Amino acid sequence: IYSCCYLNRRLNQLSRHDPLWKRHCKKYWLISEEEKARQNQGWRAIFISTYCDLGRYIQYYATLKKAWDDLEQYLGQWCPRMISSLKESVREEDLDAVEAQIRCKLPDDYRCSFRIHNGQKLVVPGLMGSMALSNHYRSEDLLDIDTAAGGFQQRLGLKQCLPLTFCIHTGLSQYMALESVEGRNKYEIFYQCPDQMARNPSAIVMFITGTSYLEWFTSYVNKVVTGGYPIIRDQIFRYVHDKDCVATTEDITVSVSTSFLPELSSVHPPHYFFTYRIRIEMSKDALPENICQLESRYWKITNAKGDVEEVQGPGVVGEFPVISPGKVYEYTSCTTFSTTSGYMEGYYTFHCLSNKDRFFNVTIPRFHMVCPTFKVSTA
C-alpha cells in the first residue's frame, strides 16, 4: 500500500510538472512560445483549457490548423485581398445548431476546420480556385456553415448531401455526402452532373474529388502553397502541371498544364471537357538575333480508343506572338473527348525575324488529360 501511495504521489507530481506539457501543446494545438507568453499561463493550464474547448478534434486539429496557417501565409503574399474574405471561427453550439437543423451529424474533421475559420464570404475570387476560358468563368467560395446548411439537400439524387463550395457564376458546388445513400460513400466529396440521357431528373453522375473533408481540404492547400496551382490576376487557378511535360527546342521551352471542367462535361452522353494552358518561353541567354514569331500550329489528338485527329492552322488563339530572349507567352485553349482520357502533342512553326527565310518547328510535349473517378447515383 505504501509503495502504491508513493507511486501515485510521484505520478501526480510528474503530471503537474509544467515543462512536460510543452511537447503536447505544440504537437496537438500548435501553441508557440509567443502564444504562451500572450496567454500568460503555464503549458499544463493551456493544454487543459484548449482540450476542454477542442478535445473532440485532437486527432484533426494540428493538421487542419497548419493547413489554414500555411494557406493564410501564402495568400498574404500572393492573393492578399482574399484574406479579408475569410470568416472568423464558429462556436460548438453553432455547429450543434446546424446538426439539429439538418437532422444529420457533421464529421468531426469538417467541424474542426470551421472552429478555425467559418469558410468565407460569398465574393470573387473564391478560396477554392478559379477557372476562366473564353466567356466561361468559375470561382468557388468555401461556404460558411449557415449558407451550407441552407443548401443541404434532401431531394432524390442528392439526398443528405451538404454543399461545401459554391460558384455564383455557374451555380456549381462540390457536395459532401453525410450518409452512405444513393451509391455514395459516407463523407465522399463530389461535383454533381446531370445524366442527360436519363428520363428521371434525379439521375446524376458524381465526379469524385475527395474521400473525406480532411483529405480534400489539406490536399488542395498543399497544392496551392507548394506552387502547384498558378496565381493569375490575384486568383488561384486550378491548372495541374506535370513536371515531365516540358520540351525544349533550341532556345524555346514549351510547358503545359491542364484542368478538367466538370460543369461543361457529361458522362451520358460521353463528353469530357478539358482546358489546357501553354507556356512558351525563350531562354534569357538566347542571342538577340534569335527573336522569332509563331506562324502556325500542328496538333495530333488521340483519345483512349486510339482514334486520332490532326489539326493545323495559323497562329494560336488568333495571335502570332513574337518571342525574344527572356520573354514568356502564355495562352489557354480547350478540347473535348468522347472517352474519359486522351492526349495531345504537336509542334509550333516559327520564323526567325532576322532571317525570314528560316523556319523551324518547336516541339509541344505530349500531355495527358484524364477525367476524375466518377459514379452514377442509384437514386
Give the Cα-Cα-Cα angle 223, 225, 227 (nearest 5 degrees): 70
Domain that holds residue 88: 61-224
pLDDT band at 15 (very low <50, low <70, confident <90, very high): low
Q: What pLDDT, in 10s, does the model give residues 176-197? A: 999 999 999 999 999 998 887 7
Residue 359 falls inside a structural domain: yes
Residue 114 falls inside a structural domain: yes
Residue 12 falls inside a structural domain: yes
The verdict on 44 and 87 lying in the same domain is: no
The verdict on 206 and 152 lying in the same domain is: yes
Residue 230 falls inside a structural domain: no
Instruction: Examine the pLDDT at 10 and tell me if it is beyond 60.
Output: no
**Rounded distance, CA 87 to CA 85, Å?**
6
The verdict on 339 and 194 lying in the same domain is: no
Residue 216, all three cell numbers:
480534400
Q: What's the domain count of the chain?
A: 3
Of 165, 188, 184, whose CA–CA distance to 107 is shortest?
188
One DSSP character per residue, 147-207 reads: HHHHT-B-STTSTTEEE-EE-TTT---EEEESSS-TTPPTT-EEEEEE-TT-SSTT-EEEE
CATH number for 324: 2.60.40.1470
Residue 234 falls inside a structural domain: no
% of residues, the chain, pLDDT over 90: 83
The verdict on 30 and 179 lying in the same domain is: no
The verdict on 89 and 143 lying in the same domain is: yes
Instruction: Examine the pLDDT at 13 and tell me if it is beyond 60.
Output: no
Residue 18 falls inside a structural domain: yes
Strand, helix or coil for residue 208: strand
Which H/E stretch holds residue 12? Answer: helix 2-15
Q: What is the pTM of this model?
A: 0.91
pLDDT of residue 200: 79
The verdict on 156 and 38 lying in the same domain is: no
pLDDT band at 16 (very low <50, low <70, confident <90, very high): confident
The verdict on 183 and 114 lying in the same domain is: yes
The verdict on 136 and 281 lying in the same domain is: no
Residue 109 falls inside a structural domain: yes
The verdict on 295 and 334 lying in the same domain is: yes
Q: What pLDDT, in 10s, does the model give residues 224-249? A: 999 999 999 899 999 999 888 999 99
pLDDT of residue 18: 82
